Amino acid sequence: MNRHRASRYQMRRNARRMRRYGVEPMALITEDLEFAPLVIASIARAVWRYRSELAPLTIAAAVLVTGVILRRWFPEWWPTVIIAVVLVAGAVAIWGRWVNLPRPIERGYAAVTTAFAGTWLTLAAYQGPFTAPLPAVLGIGTLVLAVPWWAHRRRRARVRVERTLAAWPDIAQAVGLAGSRVQSAIVDLWGYRFRLGLGLGQTVEDALTAVPRLESALGTTRGGVRVQPVASKKANRADVRVIETDPHADAIAWPGPSITSITQPVKLGLFEDGMPVRVPFLRRHGLFAGISGAGKSGGVNVLLGDLTACQDVILWAIDLKRGMELLPWSSCIDRLATTPQEAEALLADAVVILDGRADDLTRRGERVWEPSPERPALIIIIDEYAELASEAPRAIDYADSIARRGRAPAVNLIAATQRPSKEAMGKSAVRSQMDVRLCFRVREPRDGDLILGQGMVKAGWHPHKLDAPGKFLISSPEHDIPRRARSYLLGDERVAATAERHAEGRPSLDAVSLAALDAAASTAERHADAPTEEERTSPRHARQTAPKRGDSVLWAVLRDAPENGITVDELKTATGMSRPTIYRRLSQLENDGRVRQVSRGRWRARLDPDPA
């Protein structure tokens, strides 16, 4: 009795499965009411299960039946058939990519198969399908052409995925997602992904919680399943991606600069599906964070490789490791600070530029600074921001001001640090204003929340599971779902070659910024030189008549400079002039054609008569 009930239950279960996947069961009334339906259901189930493997035989049978029909009722159509075959085979060979045949070898196989079937149909219509040797030709040709079909990797992967997902009701029951259903599935080079319709009352967070159980049920490796919300933001949908071959197992070589203007999005790397990670940095502050050795510096190098190719951006940099990380880019960096004092002065000057640009925008009646080669944006790269907070605390006030007010005047910060805690970042405005956040590997989940924002780990952002240098998660207005990516690899030799190539033609600071720096320097010098009341009444003050060195001294130094030129720091030492004043005067002399830039950051007078 129990066996009879089990058989009926199994029949109903098989019938439900066949209806779900397009097969309608048939019931025959015979003397053996139990055996016949089971046999028919088993055969139908086997045929449906192996429909992909049986496809060549099915097509051969269809071609044979079509040949019989043509010979019996339409024998005069054989010229039309051969013309149609030539057209179809040619169309498949040329435009097959539009019907899911992306590779040339796949299009060639489809064209050959079409030509074979069409030629056989033509001969069958003209001579008869059973005229020797046509039956043997059809059989042998079917077996020969079936071998590539049976061996095709993508077909076998698709069949395997279909069979795995066919058992989804049982899998869903086992992992705690009963009632969910697979809506669609796509096989790619590295695995497959499917759209999951969640059951009543289930959310994406429930699917995220079930990820370890999904990995076990689907037979993948640990960390091989990704669950994320769908782009349409529907609460009862989730995208599940199963990684069978890690696309980021090997480093990805940097293909070269992807932009020529800061107004274009920078390409930092590739997502797991091969799509590029494109991020706009104009009027945005950025944060690169992760443990030591996770790939932060590599990500910053990729960013610099693109930014140095832009003619509408000035780069300043702070590297308190004495320039170990950013010094290779010095030929493209307009100003590089390697000590706490230089860092503080650099950020102070950046605030001056910010204020000067804001005043200029007000006078023009404009809201934002539009970058151009004549009016470039200013981006400040800060490596190991935590060192800045501990060694130059006064600089944090300037960084905080830039973070709050620097977007409209196009003065932006890009900070790299290991752990952006409150102590490391100083005031909270800097971290809270970071629109673009790249999180490389971290040790603990709470560090992911610290970098990406509170609650992000619970929402599916798991940087603590990243397993190789260069892998990262990105959070920005364009990237609001957790997708793993890997940054390009830009080695030391490539950095040196790129910096040398991009050093030529780098823009100079705009007139508005130079004027603001000059005005601030003049004010500071007046305050520094102003004597106190006691000094003014002192007899010694009357004897202090040492004159200041000016443009004539600057010209003399430039004229006597060596063939490889002289740097701004050397000019500052020789003339006693401030750096902003030197920059402004050099810009004027260069526009007048009296000095030239021998190499990046090194100047020399032209061999013309003394302008004085």
Binding site for ATP: what residues are annotated? 290-297
Single out the residue of 196, 189, 156, 154 nearest to residue 273, CA to CA. 189
Helix (H, G, I), strand (E, B) or coil at 432: helix
Count the helices and strands in the chain (H runs, E runs). Answer: 24, 18
**Contact between residue 563 and residue 530 where contact means Cβ atoms under 8 Å apart:** no
Sheet arrangement for strand 602-605:
566-567, 602-605, 595-599
d(CA 217, CA 210): 10
**Contact between residue 414 and residue 300 where contact means Cβ atoms under 8 Å apart:** yes
Decide: residue 41, CB within 10 A, 0-12 exposed, 13-18 middle, 19+ buried. Answer: buried
d(CA 199, CA 183): 12
CA dihedral angle for residue 557, residue 563, residue 566, residue 571, rounded to 10 degrees: 0
Treating both helix axes as pointing N-terminal to C-terminal, what angle do 568-575 and 551-559 enclose, rounded to 10 degrees?
Answer: 130
Single out the residue of 334, 337, 333, 301 nearest to residue 494, CA to CA. 301
Q: Is the peptide bond before 133 cis (omega within 30 degrees of 0)?
A: yes
**Contact between residue 303 and residue 472 where contact means Cβ atoms under 8 Å apart:** no
d(CA 207, CA 213): 10
- Whole-number Cα distances in Å, 189 to 154, 158, 305, 559: 8, 11, 29, 63
Rg (CA), the chain: 36
d(CA 171, CA 180): 10
Annotated binding site: 290-297
Helix (H, G, I), strand (E, B) or coil at 608: coil
d(CA 264, CA 608): 41
Which H or E run includes 276?
strand 276-279
DSSP 209: H
The first and second tokens of residue 432, run together, are 């809270």
**Contact between residue 295 and residue 440 where contact means Cβ atoms under 8 Å apart:** yes
d(CA 447, CA 460): 14
d(CA 104, CA 127): 34
Query: Cα 247 from chain centroid?
Result: 14
Look up tokens 């940054």; give the residue.
487
**Contact between residue 190 and residue 245 where contact means Cβ atoms under 8 Å apart:** yes
- Other C-beta atoms lying within 10 Å of the C-beta of residue 35: 11
| Amino acid letter for position 453 | G
Q: Is the peptide bond before 507 cis (omega within 30 degrees of 0)?
A: no
**Contact between residue 248 and residue 269 where contact means Cβ atoms under 8 Å apart:** no
d(CA 225, CA 218): 9
